[in-house]
Amino acid sequence: MSRIGKKPIAPVDGVTVTVEGQKVTARGPKGELSVTLMDLVKVGQTDAGIVVEMAGESREARAAWGMSRSLVQNIVTGVTSGFEKKLAITGVGYRAQMQGTNLKLALGYSHDIVFEAPAGITLAAPAQTEVVITGIDRQLVGQVAANIRKLRPPEPYKGKGVRYSDEIVYRKEGKKK
């Protein structure tokens, strides 16, 4: 049984959640998000909050149960406090700076890379070696962070590149003579 799926999503002050069939919409101080759940789960509102239940006893329904609950929790958290990912840039001459709303990255290539933020995402470069990505959609924040990291992933010999701030890069030993 899903331990995550069993928990109801507690109501949050300032957030209104509406359930219309399989579509759940949350409206809060940071904006509005909605998610459409699979037919394998049933979603409803009770006094304890929003409850996600399995529609059947199939293996697929059990697999979708906890994930569906997490998706609803993510939209509720997103409209209340939002999500944030931090990237660290390491390497001589590697840096990031803001150019209007776009992020200008110098990552050791012959040219600078200008990364445009999609709608709903805010980029910031508080330091030359740090990038902060914020937004209300957890999936979109993670995807933007992954796209920036993909421009120059960390390499294992010198550790140069773009990495998540909490990522551990295991270093390899170089050639021996």
For residue range 113-136, list pLDDT tens digits in order. 999 999 999 999 999 999 999 999
Domain 3-80: assigned CATH number: 3.90.930.12
75 three-state secondary structure? helix
Q: Is the pLDDT of residue 91 over 90?
A: yes
Q: Is the pLDDT of residue 92 over 80?
A: yes
Q: Is the pLDDT of residue 33 over 70?
A: yes
Instruction: For residues 40-50, give the mean pLDDT.
Output: 91
Q: Is the pLDDT of residue 1 over 90?
A: no
Q: Is the pLDDT of residue 148 over 80?
A: yes
Q: Which CATH number fits domain 83-164: 3.40.50.300, 3.90.930.12, 3.40.50.2300, 3.20.20.60?
A: 3.90.930.12
16 three-state secondary structure? strand
In this structure, are residues 12 and 28 in contact, taking their beta carbons and an 8 Å threshold? yes
Question: What's the mean pLDDT when you consider all of the chain?
Answer: 93
User: CA 117 to CA 120: how far, in whole Å?
Assistant: 8
User: CA 6 to CA 9: how far, in whole Å?
Assistant: 10
pLDDT at 2: 65
pTM of this structure: 0.90
Q: Is the pLDDT of residue 174 over 90?
A: no
Where exactly does CATH 3.90.930.12 map onto the chain? 3-80, 83-164
User: CA 152 to CA 93: how far, in whole Å?
Assistant: 13
Instruction: For residues 81-104, give the mean pLDDT.
Output: 95
